[in-house]
């Protein structure tokens, strides 16, 4: 794992300098040290060093909390990106100390502001990408291994880097991997809605659609589709997944119901009646389950495939 050390080194140096400055300041007040320019300069740095040490300590704790909790189970590049951000923070603290030491803090900040404004215009997309990276990590949009969809692109997260995220592309319609790796700018996650199919539970709702001719026994067709679903989909597993969904959704202001078994939805089409079997399935196994349902449906119809479903009795 990447180690995060820049802030630790800076904090140790600041604490040492703070101690020396405090000794100089106290020695001057009590007359124990000679009143020289060097001693006065060291004593005068005490307020600035105190502020810098306090800020650095707070940032040190924040970055360590991020490395321990927010990035738990993530890819090594997440820690490398956090280390890069930590280095930038160290540079900003050092700039503050240098400006304060030379007595031109306001002028330095103004100059840095003008330079920063120009850099913001020139580096707008990279800055947005870093902002997207922060949103991914600290708001937990997704983690490595999650299946997400953004801007009509779907895939499993391979890496989360400072400026971009790599996805193993999945066809949004079939749920099958295409074999291609996508590199997406992190700025996109600030501009487009992000759908995460595996954030809280790895299951998602899916539907298997069939059509039956007008004149068929609709009740018999529904019963046949439910029988096919019971053959392919484990009833106990369906019930357990529905209970898990209810546990996750408990307390949320939504009215979604979670039936314990697959349900059939009927819709009228111009040339036929459409039946949809709605069920819960692992987000990564949609294609396999649809294939199994299609094979079971054709087997159940047998020689009557393409004909009206006969009436019962």
| CATH code of residue 273 | 3.30.70.100
* Per-residue CA distances from 173 to 45, 183, 209, 265, 287 (Å): 64, 20, 13, 20, 9
Give the pLDDT confidence of 206-254 residue by residue, as tens digits: 999 999 888 888 898 999 999 999 999 999 999 988 888 888 777 777 6
Instruction: State the DSSP H helix or E strand holding residue 282, giving kind and residue range, or none if neither.
Output: strand 273-282
Give the pLDDT confidence of 20-75 residue by residue, as tens digits: 778 877 777 776 667 676 667 667 777 777 877 787 777 777 777 665 554 454 44
Q: How many domains does the chain have?
A: 3
**Whether residue 111 is found in the same domain as residue 149:** no
Contacts of 72 (CB under 8 A, 6+ apart): none
Cα of 285 vs its chain's centroid, Å:
21
Domain of residue 158, residue span: 138-196
- Euclidean distance between CA atoms 197 and 282, whole angstroms: 9
Give the pLDDT confidence of 90-112 residue by residue, as tens digits: 777 776 666 665 555 555 555 55
Is 131 domain-assigned? no
- Categorize the per-residue pLDDT at 141 as very low, low, confident or very high, splitting at 50, 70 and 90: confident
- Report the predicted TM-score, pTM, of the whole model to 2 decimal places: 0.58
Is 125 domain-assigned? no
**Whether residue 251 is found in the same domain as residue 296:** yes
Is 189 domain-assigned? yes
Is 107 domain-assigned? yes
Out of 174, 196, 218, a domain closes at 196
**Whether residue 80 is found in the same domain as residue 31:** yes
């Amino acid at each position: 794992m990447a180690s995060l050390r820049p802030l630790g080194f800076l904090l140790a140096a600041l604490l040492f300098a703070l101690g020396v400055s405090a000794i100089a300041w106290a020695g001057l007040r009590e007359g124990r040290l000679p009143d020289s320019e060097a001693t006065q300069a060291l004593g005068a740095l005490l307020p600035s060093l105190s502020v810098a040490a306090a800020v650095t300590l707070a940032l040190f704790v924040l970055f360590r909390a991020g490395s321990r909790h927010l990035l738990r189970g993530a890819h090594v590049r997440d820690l490398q990106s956090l280390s890069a951000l930590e280095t930038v923070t160290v540079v900003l603290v050092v700039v503050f100390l240098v400006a304060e030491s030379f007595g031109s803090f306001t002028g330095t900040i103004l100059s840095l502001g003008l330079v920063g404004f120009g850099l913001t215009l020139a580096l707008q997309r990279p800055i947005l990408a870093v902002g997207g990276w922060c949103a991914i990590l600290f708001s937990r949009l997704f983690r490595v291994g999650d299946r997400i969809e953004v801007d009509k692109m779907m895939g499993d997260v391979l890496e989360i880097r400072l400026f971009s995220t790599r996805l193993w592309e999945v066809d949004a319609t079939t749920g099958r991997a295409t074999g291609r790796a996508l590199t997406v700018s992190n700025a996109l996650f600030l501009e487009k809605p992000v759908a995460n199919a595996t954030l809280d539970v790895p299951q998602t709702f899916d539907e298997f659609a069939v059509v039956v001719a007008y004149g068929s026994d609709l009740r018999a067709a529904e019963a046949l589709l439910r029988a096919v679903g019971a053959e392919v989909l484990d009833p106990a597993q369906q019930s357990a997944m529905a209970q898990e969904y209810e546990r996750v959704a408990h307390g949320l202001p939504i009215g979604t119901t979670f039936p314990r078994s697959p349900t059939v939805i009927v819709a009228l089409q111009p040339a036929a009646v459409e039946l949809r079997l709605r069920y819960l399935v692992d987000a990564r196994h949609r294609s396999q389950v649809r294939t199994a349902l299609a094979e079971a449906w054709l087997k159940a119809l047998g020689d009557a495939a393409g004909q009206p479903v006969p009436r019962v009795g």
